[in-house]
Amino acid sequence: MTKALFTLDAVLEATGGRAQDVEASEINSISIDSRELGPDALFVAIKGDRFDGHDFVDTALANGAVAALVSEGNGKGKGRIVVQDALGGLRDLARAARQRNRGFIVGVTGSVGKTTTKEALRTIFEAAGQTHASIKSFNNHWGVPLTLARLPESAQFGVFEMGMNAPDEIRPLSQMVRPHVAVITAVAPVHLEGLGSTEAIARAKAEIFDGLEPGGTAVLNADHQHLTQLMDAAKAAGVANIVTYGFSRGVDWQILDAQSAGEQSFATIQHAGERFAMTFAIPGRHMLSNATAALAVAHLAGVSPEEGLRALAGLRAQAGRGQRRPLGPAEKPLVLINESYNANPVAVSAALSVFADVDAPGGRKVLVLGDMLELGDQAEALHAGLNEAVRASGATRVHLVGPHMAALAAALPAALVASHFRTAEEAEDVIIADLAYGDAVMIKGSNGVGLSRIVNALVARFEHS
């Protein structure tokens, strides 16, 4: 018989809450969305920027939640567990879940690559034992405690992604997760609006070291200019061990002979005098870097490189993060590369380098690029700076979306720019009308630009021939 995630008594002990007509004695899932409830669900009524979960408590209970964790002053009605603050209560459950677990816990942050690295780790660990990992990009002030609160006591491995867009956001998350290994995938010009410089971004990422368990390890990408800053921060935080990886010479896990062909990536990985062949089905040097980070972390957890590489052979790109999808007739499909979830100068340049190797069945290669958000005063220059990477990608037509993309439109040859709109809604019909079977199209932009609506419209139009 599977052990409950939490008993009601354990929830009350962890949160200091009081039960109000709660009939259930066990909680087996936790949700903050009244539309997505697992078995024996506890609905946590957190207040967000747009919605207050307390407005959906009755809906959640009607939809099958066995109890709702609510803030003081919202306790009228049955099935409530009343705490001072619902989000604080969720954090209390997260700490309780972490306290009882004896598995190997990993925290992952970085300007780019953290979600793919997390998925690579999930892939390796799932082949080795019971694994719990962040879903989607649940990496913020509510996503991390929600994921941690869901950690089963019996999980052998846990992988937690941590994001930020301002100082002092990663530290409390890491102190909650208490990882045995902290990974920083890269430092790049992302969130400049809130941080001002890449040096400040590196400092914010280094906050992850403050939650490391005693004797823990920092795993650091060496292929950026802030490696020394991160290593110094790790040592200042008392980190016992530092492991490096990347393409740079002299690192602990070095990537050699990197290649991409079609939808495959290949490399030789050198570690401790040995060499290993890596292959998986996501193209790009940046993806090889992410996979190597996972290999290094898994080795620290006792998974051999051979075991890790076998598991990584099954790694696939996710929707919104490089997933490649042929639409329509097999003999001449429209090839969609969906990169619509996030964008920053490093990520866009990496995606464009992958697009350079994409073959279009009918010869046309089309780019849809949306604004890169949160770049502050450097936004115009960084958008314009993409122009060489766009030209090198082999794109024959470029559609641009967002006000900052005006800078890139001005930097590109006028004949290459097919359209420029301020919003995805305005651009949608024009872009869909411009595409045809046989084209290859990459859609890349920050999630807030809303390019996913163009992806969805494109799939609806071209999926069936």
Q: Are residues 219 and 354 in the same domain?
A: no
What is the rounded CA–CA span in Å between residue 384 and residue 104? 44
Instruction: Judge whether 317 lies within some domain.
Output: no
Q: Are residues 350 and 281 in the same domain?
A: no
Q: Are residues 60 and 115 in the same domain?
A: no
Domain that holds residue 81: 6-85
Asked which of 31, 53, 85 is the last residue of a domain, the reply is 85
State yes or no: 111 annotated in a binding site.
yes
What is the rounded CA–CA span in Å between residue 143 and residue 164? 12
Q: What is the pLDDT of residue 321?
A: 82
Q: Does residue 200 surpass a pLDDT of 60?
A: yes
Instruction: Judge whether 148 lies within some domain.
Output: yes
Mean pLDDT in residue range 151-157: 97
Q: What is the pLDDT of residue 465?
A: 61
Q: Does residue 146 surpass a pLDDT of 90?
A: yes
DSSP state of 372: P
Q: Are residues 249 and 107 in the same domain?
A: yes
Instruction: Judge whether 411 lies within some domain.
Output: yes
CATH for 364 = 3.90.190.20
Asked which of 24, 54, 85 is the last residue of a domain, the reply is 85
Q: Are 137 and 128 in contact (CB under 8 A)?
A: no
Q: Are residues 66 and 137 in the same domain?
A: no
pLDDT in tens, 424-452: 999 999 999 999 999 999 999 998 999 99
State yes or no: 115 annotated in a binding site.
yes
Backbone angles phi, psi at 274, to 5 degrees: -110, 155
* Unique residue bearing structure tokens 């001449």: 332
Pick from 75, 70, 72: nearest CA to 11:
70
Mean pLDDT in residue range 133-142: 88
Q: Does residue 1 surpass a pLDDT of 70?
A: no
Q: Are residues 76 and 166 in the same domain?
A: no
* Unique residue bearing structure tokens 């846990």: 158
Q: Are residues 219 and 338 in the same domain?
A: no
Q: What pTM did the predictor assign?
A: 0.90
Considering its fold, how many domains does the chain have in total? 3
pLDDT > 70 fraction of the chain, expressed in percent and rounded: 100
**Coil, strand, or helix at residue 248?**
coil
Instruction: Judge whether 212 lies within some domain.
Output: yes
Q: Are residues 144 and 236 in the same domain?
A: yes
What is the rounded CA–CA span in Å between residue 288 and residue 176? 30
CATH for 182 = 3.40.1190.10
Q: Which positions ≥6 away from 85 have C-beta within 8 Å?
A: 71, 72
Mean pLDDT in residue range 279-288: 91
Lowest mean pLDDT across 192-201, 331-340, 434-443, 452-461 = 192-201
Lowest mean pLDDT across 90-104, 204-218, 318-332 = 318-332
Q: Are residues 353 and 425 in the same domain?
A: yes
Instruction: Judge whether 1 lies within some domain.
Output: no
As a whole number, the mean pLDDT across the chain is 94
Instruction: Judge whether 413 lies within some domain.
Output: yes
Give residue 272's identity as a one-letter amino acid code. A
Top pLDDT among 463 and 130 is at 130
Asked which of 286, 312, 338 is the last residue of a domain, the reply is 312
The pair of structure tokens assigned to 176 is: 């909650």
Instruction: Judge whether 92 lies within some domain.
Output: no
Confidence of residue 50 (pLDDT cuts 50, 70, 90): confident
Segments in 318-435 forming alpha helices (H): 345-355, 379-384, 387-392, 405-411, 424-434
Q: What is the pLDDT of residue 191?
A: 77
State yes or no: 113 annotated in a binding site.
yes
State yes or no: 70 annotated in a binding site.
no
Instruction: Judge whether 123 lies within some domain.
Output: yes
Q: Are residues 139 and 255 in the same domain?
A: yes
CATH for 53 = 3.40.1390.10
Q: Are residues 222 and 299 in the same domain?
A: yes
State yes or no: 114 annotated in a binding site.
yes
pLDDT in tens, 285-308: 999 999 999 999 999 999 999 999
Q: Does residue 231 surpass a pLDDT of 90?
A: yes
Q: Please give the helix or strand (H or E) that residue 9 lies within, else none.
A: helix 8-15
Q: What is the pLDDT of residue 260?
A: 83
What is the rounded CA–CA span in Å between residue 364 and residue 347? 23
Q: Which positions ≥6 away from 37 have C-beta within 8 Å?
A: 29, 31, 43, 60, 63, 64, 65
Q: What is the pLDDT of residue 359?
A: 86
Kind of pairing, strands 440-444 and 334-339?
parallel
**Coil, strand, or helix at residue 417?**
strand
Q: Are residues 342 and 433 in the same domain?
A: yes
Pick from 328, 316, 318, 320: nearest CA to 453:
320
What is the rounded CA–CA span in Å between residue 215 and residue 257? 34
